[in-house]
Copies of this chain bind each other. A is one copy, B any other.
Amino acid sequence: MPGPAVSIRDVASQAGVSVGTVSNVLNRPDIVAASTRNRVLAAINDLGFVPNDAARQLRRGRGRTLGLVVLDVANPFFTDVAKGVEDATGAAGMAVIFCNSDGDPAKESRYLDLLEEQRVQGVLITPVDDANERLVRLRERGVLVILLDRRSTRPDVCSVAVDDRLGGELAIRHLAEAGHRRIAFVGGPWRLEQVRDRYHGGLHALREAGLTEEHLRRFETPSPTVAAGRDAASRILGLPRSARATAVFCANDLLALGVLQELTRQQVRVPEDIALVGYDDIDFAAAAAVPLSSVRQPRQRLGQTAALLMLDESNNPDGHRHQQVIFEPELVVRESSQFTRTPN
């Protein structure tokens, strides 16, 4: 049943040429005479020949695939990023091995092993931890590494990120200006740099507004998911009303949607009782029970840019200049934070 497994050699004999010529037709069609080329192409068609990428890769040293490692497949933010990556790579005829670290360093490590065995051309990754030992090693072995949604600290590594501190600032400034003085920050796990940056950006805005760290209370979550958001909301509502936050800023929209669900369930009105701001502006934010204010990131461009950077570094190793691309986030105000409060 498994067909005859036709190889370049069969094509060669069918077309009456040498294997070298067939290979040339495949890789540098211009250097072979038109008549020969057509004969070879016909043979390829007749036999239904499909080149074996493993052999090609073995010979060439590196393959036509690249790895994409994200923190959470279920998060629309990352699927949009992935879409951007796919657009750029698909056009270049490259395959993407999609890996989901789930924020787990062990899983991330396993996937990096796998990608290394695959001899991928490069890895686009949103790392779980900070300065990743593994990534340095990967680079030393000739695997291109590009940081995604994370700013690179090394000048020899490209990165594409969004200014998370600025994003945090925008959100908290918005809330502070609306009169909020007790704000909850929901995010985690804390080892994620994005979470920390958004928090610190918020702090910065707070100080600018003449407030202090005490006005921004942290609620760390074990994961950035809807379920974790619901939990965090319960914890917030567990406080006596007088100490309870009047606004919540979430490190991403999934958390915010979770918070919103739980608040609604417990009959707390948004934004009248508690205002809410999320992060990412995923498509579902606008469709939420209360349309969600959020900090928008250029998700697809993020992925696309990262992929293009990789392709450039790959095709043009010498001319390539490493860059740290930073996009600017943008606050989108919707109903969930539209309520002005008189500071008490």
Residues in chain A within 8 A of chain B (CB atoms): 1-3, 5, 48, 50-55, 57-58, 61, 63, 65, 73-74, 76, 79-80, 82-83, 86, 90, 93, 95-100, 107, 110, 113-119, 137, 139-142, 226, 257, 260-261, 283-284, 286-291
Interchain residue pairs with CB less than 8 A apart (14):
A1-B142, A2-B140, A50-B141, A55-B58, A65-B97, A74-B83, A79-B79, A83-B100, A93-B114, A95-B99, A257-B287, A284-B284, A289-B289, A289-B291
Pair B226/A287 contact, Cβ less than 8 Å: yes
Provide the bound-state CA to CA distance between A124 and B208, in Å. Answer: 54
Whether B98 lies near A54 (C-beta < 8 A) is: no
For this chain, the copies found in one complex come to: 2
| CB-CB nearest in chain B for A53 | B117
CB-CB < 8 A to A107: which residues of B? Answer: 90
In whole angstroms, how far apart are the Cα atoms of A74 and B139 in the complex? 31
Q: Which of B5, B100, B283 contacts A226 (CB 8 A)?
A: B283
Contacts of A100 in B (CB 8 A): 82-83, 86
Give the contacting residue for A141; candidates B2, B80, B113, B291; CB below 8 A: B2
Contact in complex: A113, B73 (CB < 8 Å): no
